[in-house]
Amino acid sequence: MRAEILDATKTVLLFEDSHSRDSSVELGLVQFGFRVQEATNSAEAVTYCRRNRGQVHVAVVEVAGPTFSGRQVLDRLATVAPGMPIVVISEQSWDDLYEAGVLGLEDPFFQKPFYPSQLAEAIYALLGAPSPIRPQTSAVIANSPRRSLGYSLFGLRNIAFL
């Protein structure tokens, strides 16, 4: 299940607030077969998408919380790269980001921490590509009507990973 079985034909634009050079998100995406282009700020992310139109297959954007201009970044990326899937990651909960207007009901979202394989699986699904990743976790419907991991890729709400 390492990158040698995957050919890295899809490019992911990664914008993380943490600016860590050894990002587990970046390392996980590379491991699961994606080329990763990092952006260190929102302007760089938007500029890269504009200059490389059609060459970025999906964006993974971290938003720090309700006070961060996350919705503006998402809207700008959607404007310069219409149709490009955007996955939001954050340490904040889905509820907090939704109530602040950062997330919409159908925005794919992962609350940190999560397994890189979960993110990679979601990206393959968003791209309509078969995933070469063997499932490592199971998804189950959680009991709480509002507390969840926030993963809404398939229009499901209240999913927890075991």
When pLDDT is averaged across residues 126-145 and rounded to a whole number, the result is: 59
20 contacts 38 by C-beta, under 8 angstroms: no
Report residue 72's pLDDT band, with 50, 70 and 90 as the boundaries. confident
CA angle 78, 80, 86 (to 5 degrees): 35
65 contacts 92 by C-beta, under 8 angstroms: yes
The string of pLDDT tens digits covering residues 23-61 is 789 999 999 999 999 998 888 999 999 999 899 999 999
Hey, where are the domains in the chain? 3-132
State how far the alpha carbon of 93 is from the alpha carbons of 99, 104, 107, 114, 149, in Å. Answer: 10, 13, 13, 13, 8
Query: pTM to 2 decimals?
Result: 0.76
User: How far, in Å, CA of 87 to CA of 6, rounded?
Assistant: 21
Please report the pLDDT score of residue 2 as a whole number.
41
- What are the structure tokens assigned to 46, written together? 């938007």
The string of pLDDT tens digits covering residues 83-127 is 999 999 999 999 999 998 889 888 999 999 999 999 999 999 999
As its CATH architecture, domain 3-132 has 3-Layer(aba) Sandwich (3.40)
